[in-house]
């Protein structure tokens, strides 16, 4: 797997999961798992076209693809299945029985089964969002030079701040928002969120 592109990363109580993309030009991607303590790799899905965002719950591993699909496979292995079309490619987050992701320039939400998709917010700069995080009441995302948030019910879309450097990955805890700015080589924090 050396020389491969690794995009999505998720962890649960027993394992670490990630996506592998040897080539972004065709269906050569995989979803793999290894026990937290180390050990043999298990390949959960193969022949995926550029798997990117990745999330895990107590039952399944979910990922988005370059074909704008949301896929899943049981944690213990099995046959990958299509959850829905029109989502991704990009981050996917699971929270309180819902899936959050991007649909082009929109922040979207659906049931865990991929039903009843709704748009929560649209990109104010008309570009694709980059990072995504959810804390139970709000969805946070990065795009262009902005850090933004919207309620999980679609209310109160807010531009939290504008940065001279481009924010990328984003995470939240009970009190703060954290994001990376790769061009500057920095990790930033905003409190309160």
Domain membership of residue 64 (yes or no) is yes
Domain membership of residue 159 (yes or no) is no
> What distance in Å separates the CA atoms of residue 67 and residue 124, rounded to the nearest whole number?
24
Domain CATH number, residue 50 = 2.40.10
CA 84 to each of CA 64, 80, 111, 116, 123: distance values in angstroms, whole numbers, following the listed order: 10, 12, 11, 11, 22
Domain membership of residue 78 (yes or no) is yes
Domain count, the chain: 1
Range of the domain at 58: 1-90
Between the CA atoms of 72, 84, 88 and 86, what dihedral angle is there, to the nearest 10 degrees?
Answer: 170
Domain membership of residue 23 (yes or no) is yes
Residue carrying structure tokens 């690794």 = 6
Domain membership of residue 14 (yes or no) is yes
Domain membership of residue 81 (yes or no) is yes
Structure confidence by residue, pLDDT tens digits, 137-154: 999 999 999 999 999 999
Give the chain's length: 193
Question: What pTM value is reported for the model?
Answer: 0.88
Structure confidence by residue, pLDDT tens digits, 11-20: 999 999 999 8
Domain membership of residue 174 (yes or no) is no
Domain membership of residue 57 (yes or no) is yes
């Amino acid at each position: 797997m050396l020389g491969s592109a690794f995009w999505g990363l998720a962890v649960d109580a027993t394992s670490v999961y990630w996506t592998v993309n040897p080539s972004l030009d065709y269906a050569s991607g995989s979803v793999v798992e290894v026990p937290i303590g180390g050990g043999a790799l298990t390949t959960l899905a193969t022949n995926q076209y550029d798997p990117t965002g990745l999330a895990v719950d107590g039952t399944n591993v979910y990922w988005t693809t370059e074909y704008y699909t949301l896929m899943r496979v049981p944690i213990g292995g099995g046959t990958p299945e299509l959850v829905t079309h029109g989502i991704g490619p990009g981050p996917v987050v699971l929270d309180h029985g819902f899936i959050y992701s991007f649909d082009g320039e929109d922040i979207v939400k659906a049931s865990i089964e991929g039903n009843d998709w709704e748009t929560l917010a649209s990109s104010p700069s008309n570009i694709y969002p980059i990072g995504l995080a959810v804390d139970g009441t709000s969805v946070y995302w990065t795009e262009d030079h902005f850090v933004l948030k919207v309620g999980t019910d679609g209310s109160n879309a807010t531009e939290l701040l504008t940065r001279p450097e481009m924010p990328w990955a984003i995470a939240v805890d009970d009190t703060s928002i954290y994001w990376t700015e790769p061009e500057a080589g920095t990790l930033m924090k905003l409190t309160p969120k």
